[in-house]
Amino acid sequence: MKNQHFLYVCLAAMLLMQLCSCGSKFPDVSQKTVFRYNESAGITSLDPAFARNQANIWAVNQLFCGLVQLDDSLKVKPSIANSWEISPDGLVYTFHLRSDVLFQNSEVFPGGKSRTVIAPDFVYSFNRVTDSTLASPGAWVFSNVARKGSYIAFEAPNDSSFVIKLKNPFPPFLSLLSMQYCSVVPKEAVLKYGNDFRRHPVGAGPFVLKLWKEGVKLVLVRNEHFFERENGHPLPYLDAIAISFIIDKQAAFLEFVKGNLDFMSGIDASYKDEMLTTDGKLNPGYSKGVRLLTGQYLNTEYLGIQVDTNLAIVQLSPLRMKKVRQAINYGFDRRRMMRYLRNKIGVPGTGGFIPLGLGGSDTSGKTGYGYDPVKAAALLSEAGFPNGKGLPPVTLTTNASYLDLCKYMQSQLNEIGFDIRIDVTPPATLREMIAQAKVNFFRGSWIADYPDAENYLSLFYSGNFCPDGPNNTHFSNNEFDRLYEKSRQETNDACRYEYYRQMDQLLMEESPVVVLYYDQVLRFTRQNIHGLGCNPMNLLSLIRVKKDVIVKK
């Protein structure tokens, strides 16, 4: 630990020297504004084609840009495309690009300079994501794009116009293009670095990579060529971003308390009661140095159940039986769980899988499950296991961060006849096991990729079985598939939302998932940090963030 701390100090010193080595432009290193946060999950790639999890997405979002972006209200706003038109039939999207967007300075360009982003760059970038040899997890984004022969129909009539043609109308498509998978990359960089592009990103975003010691430190510095301005001022305001990778969340929390980190997202059981009151407010003892930002979060936390009876892990499991799955849903008190284990951060998951705030979500409270141990016991009896007699043990696989919640559910479910065992697995290992359908009962979460309920329901469409798609439970239902396919072609929002509601109700009836809660964005910052927004997708955008420099006397 001491050696690691020494390395942090050395890297920080290197960053400061690099910042002040740029000549008279940075005359006083004490005036540099470096935004510091920790990423305990680690970062595996800075290639937007592999921006699959939040850790990668946050870093990629600082380095790259796409056609459009979402604001904190999840409205689609211009980015590299300053305007666009959609054909009356909803099939053709024509984007008009800004002429002042440059890729960062890089050795891949003549003289190590930059060059202008043009429409053919988007043709290349999007075709790259769909290339099966790359195996990008974002290829599904373009599954509805029409084909022209053996190629996806992305077109660049000229350098400033980019056209996408769809097979079927899909109203959420524009917001889907705000995903980091859809960032523009230069062909020159990909050809030069190949698979190592993950470590040598070249983008048009607000920051550029300066240093990456994997598992230790990642440093980004301001992109002097970034095209966005605010009130005439060039963006971003920050000079640099420094990301550490302290795995232990309690240790990272202590670094935040000491002032060595500027930002912390979410809450961990190890310091929950230290930072928050029982009502989820900031502990008054931290009010002078810390600011708490909260807001709605498009994140459903759940337990997933593998239901594909073609798999060996399912054939002998009692979870293959719907009534057993329903008994689990009725068998624990979500409201009590949120009160005592989450300090009321989030909303108990007594509705459907679609989180509150999206069209089609359950606002009546009739779709999901409340706490009813009597009904749970009755369902077990109907399934052939009265008082749990003869019911085989069930193993719930989770990671350490959710162990307290899983133990709570274990205790209540065991009281009604279940024999729940808990297997704690490292997060990366668990994600891989889930993606490969190698775990039967698991703790999962789904953060919206784009703000439409279709994104949540796609997890249960039979055409999206993992590992090729996000259907990790291998749920398959003909009626669900029929409604899903109809909803994707429906341009009337009210009709589409009604399809969503019907699918959500069917999903809860079949119970391939146990909804735990709908999460809440929770952001802690130092008081000298300004302009850090709070959005329902918990996307970290540092373009407009400012940091007051505190001069030590």
Each residue's pLDDT tens digit, 496-524: 999 999 999 999 999 999 999 999 999 99
Is-contact 294 275, C-beta < 8 A?
no
- pLDDT attached to residue 3: 47
Is-contact 59 72, C-beta < 8 A?
no
Is-contact 263 58, C-beta < 8 A?
no
pTM to 2 decimal places? 0.85
- pLDDT mean values, one per 10 residues, the chain (553 residues): 46 49 42 93 95 94 98 94 96 97 97 97 96 91 85 89 94 94 98 96 98 96 96 96 95 96 92 93 94 95 96 94 98 96 94 93 86 97 96 96 95 97 93 93 93 95 89 97 93 93 97 97 96 94 93 58
Any idea how long the chain is? 553
- pLDDT attached to residue 15: 52
- pLDDT attached to residue 553: 53
User: What is the CB neighbour count within 10 angstroms for residue 235?
Assistant: 17
- pLDDT attached to residue 366: 80
Region for 549 from its dihedrals, namely left if φ exceeds 0, alpha if ψ lies in -120 to 50, beta otherwise: beta
Each residue's pLDDT tens digit, 382-405: 999 999 999 999 999 999 989 999
- pLDDT attached to residue 1: 44
In angstroms, the Cα distances linking 239 to 103, 218, 223, 547 are: 18, 14, 9, 10
Each residue's pLDDT tens digit, 131-190: 999 999 899 899 899 987 766 779 999 999 999 999 999 989 999 999 999 999 999 999
DSSP annotation of 103 reads: P
Closest to 135 measured CA to CA, from 195, 81, 189: 195
- pLDDT attached to residue 317: 95
- pLDDT attached to residue 148: 76
Question: How are the residues of the chain apportioned to helix, strand and coil, as percentages rounded to the nearest 5?
Answer: 35, 20, 45
- pLDDT attached to residue 438: 94
CA–CA separation, 257 and 238 (whole Å): 22
CA–CA separation, 61 and 53 (whole Å): 12
Fold that domain 32-244+528-547 belongs to in CATH: D-Maltodextrin-Binding Protein; domain 2 (3.40.190)
- pLDDT attached to residue 491: 85
Q: Pseudo-torsion of CA 525, 531, 534, 535, nearest 10°?
A: -150
Q: Provide the residue ranges of all domains of the chain, joining segments of one domain with +.
A: 32-244+528-547, 297-519
> Would you tell me which CATH number, out of the four given (2.60.40.1260, 1.10.10.10, 3.40.50.1170, 3.10.105.10), belongs to the domain 297-519?
3.10.105.10
